[in-house]
Amino acid sequence: MSALPFIRVSNIWQQYGDQVVLEGLSLDIAEGEFCTLVGASGCGKSTFLRLLLGQERPSKGRILLSGTPLADEPDASRGVVFQRYSVFPHLSVLDNVAIGLELPRAPLLGRLLGKAKREAREQAAAMLARVGLGHALDKYPSQLSGGMQQRLAIAQALIMKPRILLLDEPFGALDPGIRKDMHGLLLELWNETRLTVFMVTHDLSEGFSLGTRLLVFDKVRHDPHAPNAFGARITYDIPLNSGRRAAIELLPTHLVDSLQADHQGAQA
Ligand SMILES: Nc1ncnc2c1ncn2[C@@H]1O[C@H](COP(=O)(O)OP(=O)(O)OP(=O)(O)O)[C@@H](O)[C@H]1O
């Protein structure tokens, strides 16, 4: 019998009331893959991330992590970064990262004391230096640029040493130059940690250039009399080795055009 994959998504359906959002998603993901997720706005990409995070349970089907059903609640094996509002505004940069180490170890007091506290803060400071925020430990998120806030959010997720990193349009609100810097940082961190990454993006070229695998979400069945009756499926699952990255021409023109129009709409 062959070994189970790191993640197995097995015939997932997700429905809210009478609205089917995802239908019949099945895929196997090896540890260390970097999956980029693209698709029209509202087709269920963030929903899929929430299912992987364990924030929601699918209406049907199941997700196995190393052969075991996903825990009902998010846990430290999965880190998450959103487009905005991932960090705590009332905590300093250092505390934003240190708190992840402190809370689980001191659930009653909420804070560690003495040596344990010093060690947690040293680890947090080292992680912040790694993402380029070593000079900003005492600042508050409102004093940081958008790019710096996303560096902080990434540090906050990585300090917990997750095996899976979920990124929901993490660079969607950033200027192109800053996005490029963030791409470089993310690829460096991924190379160092060999995390399994799932990243939603509206930017098709970002999806092609960062990922090792591009997943396209699309609704293939439509009923004009019942617009909610059908959900999205994964219609393309394209492996992107280094030679095939940026190979947008593999996709049909109408799909590229509609995704790019969506991306431009989102940026306007
Ligand atoms: N908790 C919920 N209850 C009801 N409907 C929901 C819920 N979560 C998502 N939806 C609906 O599911 C659909 C898919 O939403 P989702 O945010 O996953 O799409 P998306 O592809 O990530 O969109 P975008 O690219 O615009 O971020 C939307 O119609 C949304 O309104």
Mutate to test the pocket of ligand 1, among 21, 41, 48, 82 (most ligand atoms within 8 A of CB): 21
- Decide whether any atom of ligand 1 lies within 6 Å of the 16 Cβ: yes
How large is the average pLDDT for residues 250-266?
73
- Decide whether any atom of ligand 1 lies within 6 Å of the 47 Cβ: yes
CA distance 159 to 235: 34
Sketch the domain layout of the chain as residue ranges. Answer: 7-267
CA distance 175 to 138: 25
How large is the average pLDDT for residues 210-222?
91
How large is the average pLDDT for residues 130-146?
95
Q: Which residue has the higher pLDDT, 182 or 3?
A: 182
> Could you tell me the distance, in angstroms and rounded to a whole number, from the CA of residue 213 to the centre of ligand 1?
23
Cα Rg of the chain (Å, integer): 19
Q: 199, 197, 213: which is closest to 245 by C-alpha? A: 213
**Relative to the CA of 266, which ligand 1 atom is closest?**
26
CA distance 236 to 218: 9
- Decide whether any atom of ligand 1 lies within 6 Å of the 85 Cβ: no
Q: pTM value? A: 0.89
- Bridge partners of 36, per DSSP, are 199, 214
- Decide whether any atom of ligand 1 lies within 6 Å of the 45 Cβ: yes
**Relative to the CA of 17, which ligand 1 atom is closest?**
4
**Relative to the CA of 169, which ligand 1 atom is closest?**
27
Query: Whole-number mean pLDDT of the chain?
Result: 87
Banded pLDDT at 257 (limits 50, 70, 90): confident
Kindly list the strands in the beta sheet with 196-200, ordered across the sheet, starting from the edge strand earlier in the chain: 68-69, 60-65, 7-16, 19-29, 232-239, 213-219, 34-39, 196-200, 164-168, 78-81
**Relative to the CA of 43, which ligand 1 atom is closest?**
21
Banded pLDDT at 237 (limits 50, 70, 90): very high
Q: 177, 164, 176, 128: which is closest to 149 by C-alpha? A: 128
Banded pLDDT at 247 (limits 50, 70, 90): low
Banded pLDDT at 164 (limits 50, 70, 90): very high
Mutate to test the pocket of ligand 1, among 12, 16, 25, 263 (most ligand atoms within 8 A of CB): 16
Q: Which fold has domain 7-267?
A: Rossmann fold (3.40.50)
Instruction: Please name the residue whose Cα sits nearest to atom 18 of ligand 1.
Output: 44
pLDDT of residue 267: 64
Instruction: Please name the residue whose Cα sits nearest to atom 28 of ligand 1.
Output: 42
pLDDT of residue 223: 76
1 pLDDT more than 80: no
pLDDT of residue 84: 77
